[in-house]
Amino acid sequence: MSGHLDSKTASIDDDVKLSIALSHNSEIIVPPFENLGNISIKWYKVEEANGDYYSNTDPSWHWEEIPYKETEVLEWRDQFIVTADVTPTVFQPVYCDGKVVGTMRYKAVLTIDGETYSTPGIESKYRGSISRDVHRISLK
């Protein structure tokens, strides 16, 4: 599985899909994964953990370590393709024309016959914040 390809920004009217694909020996394998065995898929929203305000200037400038959490989207379990949803689990959602707008990061975990493959998640940090390797969608 691969993580970050490019950052994506879409309109709230776009139908943005997230999908599982495997990269093996320079070959991209897309669903359905025929003859691969017993498969399980879990999707997670990756977001700031507690809604606190962080200062990187008090007492002096520094990289502030921001905690993140992964929340499984149970409705997406075992789905190869899902529709991106930027509704937060920590903060109150922000609406524009009755639709939720904002940025969400995602992690996908694919298990095939007990062997687990994953895109980057909360363990992927850069200077205290989540890294660009974690897949991100912004709906504006």
Q: Which domain holds residue 130?
A: 8-50+71-139
pLDDT band at 2 (very low <50, low <70, confident <90, very high): very low
* 25 within a domain of the structure (yes/no): yes
pLDDT in tens, 71-121: 999 999 999 999 999 999 988 999 999 999 999 999 999 998 899 999 999
* 59 within a domain of the structure (yes/no): no
For 124-129, which contacts have Cβ atoms below 8 Å and span 24 or more sequence positions?
Answer: 124/3, 125/68, 127/63, 128/56, 128/63, 128/64, 128/65, 128/66, 129/63, 129/66
pLDDT in tens, 20-51: 887 777 778 777 777 778 889 999 999 998 87
* 46 within a domain of the structure (yes/no): yes
Q: What is the CATH number of the domain that holds 120?
A: 2.60.40
pLDDT band at 61 (very low <50, low <70, confident <90, very high): confident
* 127 within a domain of the structure (yes/no): yes
The pTM (predicted TM-score) of the whole model is 0.84
* 58 within a domain of the structure (yes/no): no
Total number of domains in the chain: 1
* 81 within a domain of the structure (yes/no): yes
